[in-house]
Amino acid sequence: MKKTVLIVDDEPINLEILVNFIQELNFNVYITNNATKAFEISEKKVPDVIITDWEMPQINGIELVKMLKSSKITKDIPVIICTGVMMSSQNLKTALDAGAVDYIRKPIDFIELTARLSSALRLSESLKEIKQLNENKDRMFEIIAHDLSGPVGHVYAILSPEIINSLNDKMFKEFLVSARLQINAAYSLLQNLLSWARSQRNKIEFYPELNDLNSALEDTLELLKANRNEKNIKITWQKLSSSVAFFDRNMILTVLRNLISNAIKFTNSEGEIKITTDFFSDSIKISIQDNGVGILKKNLDKLENKIPFTCFGTNREKGSGLGLQLCRDFIAINKGQFFIESQENKGSTFSFTLPRTEIFSK
């Protein structure tokens, strides 16, 4: 999609020169000759960059910049001041203090315009990315806080003195099983949150070496045995004689735990999960297929764009998509590829590849 530039100047010849230059750079252009109209266009169209003349009647360029910065819609649009006479250091400081990011001198030089416009566009893209990341982070924490409140509140309720004192031995055992499942859900979510936070700050430890995937799968299936038995789900896995690959064991254990627990979460009782392994010349591919409820198309799009969301398993188990984001990130760190195939009401297949030999030193 073409980037858009709004040009504001009360001199027709200046508008014409700027339009010709910017269109030559393959941008879409909006134009106006006054600040009031520029502000209206900016709120409606939200251009990627605004170039405004300083000296204009009624409302000048500096006042326009202040107006733009006071609006939630337009405050992040980079503004370049265009001037031929207000070039003193103090005047330029005034423009930058108001919120402009750069300036262009008149008469306009095409090379200078290109450089300053490119710089402003890079800033615009960075601001948009940071804004999206912050929104996703805030949404993620909101979802996690909400998802944690369920299991923690459940455990708190069943451990009240009144309930404990009223239980017989059979009921007490059932409550302990329920409490264990709820604590396990909360603990798993916290583990994912901590790992995700470390990975976002590039603080996570990474120690790749030759490891046996069979061993990692055995440990994961044993860890999730209670979850599987709770729903009486059948897991088929043909253990291979050799499944050595090059990866960080802790990261891949996290990936397997998330993918298999997700398959259990979104598979109905008495359902089935199949784990398969395919060998290629330079990689191993692990696939985890379930016959569960599948993933809604809108949620697949959110996963692709790393947008957090809340969904529910077949027993109303909560999910936020954080685990799958973590899987995608960890597989990328291990130089593998991550794949998702899903159909509503038919099930999902999550697959990933890992290198069979060391490639990190190349």
Question: What does the alpha-carbon distance between residue 293 and residue 109 come to, in Å, rounded to a whole number?
Answer: 61
**Topology (CATH level 3) of domain 142-355:** Heat Shock Protein 90 (3.30.565)
Token pair belonging to 72: 């939630």
Distance CA(198)–CA(202), nearest Å, equals 6
Which pLDDT score is estimated for 139? 62
**CATH architecture label of 4-108:** 3-Layer(aba) Sandwich (3.40)
Mean pLDDT per 10-residue interval, the chain, length 362 residues: 89 87 87 94 93 90 93 92 77 85 84 86 82 68 61 66 70 69 68 66 77 90 84 87 86 89 89 91 92 85 74 65 82 92 90 83 44
Place of tokens 């297929």: 289
CA distance 102 to 100: 6
DSSP per position, 261-320: HHHHHTS-TT-EEEEEEEE-SSEEEEEEEE-S----HHHHHHHHTT----EE-TT--EE-
Token pair, residue 107, equals 């008469």
Backbone angles phi, psi at 26, to 5 degrees: 70, 45
**Domain locations along the chain:** 4-108, 142-355
- State the pLDDT at residue 335: 93
324 φψ region: left (φ > 0), alpha (ψ -120 to 50), beta (else)? alpha
* C-alpha closest to that of 5 among 55, 54, 56, 42: 42
Rounded distance between C-alpha atoms, residue 28 and residue 248, angstroms: 47
pTM to 2 decimal places: 0.55
- Rg of the chain on CA atoms, in Å: 28
Amino acid at 267: T
Give the pLDDT score at 316: 61
pLDDT of residue 362: 41
Give the CB-side neighbour count of residue 171, counting CA atoms within 13 A.
8
Q: Name the nearest CA neighbour of 31 among 52, 1, 55, 48.
A: 52
Report the sign of the C-alpha dihedral through residues 130, 133, 139, 141, in that order. Answer: negative
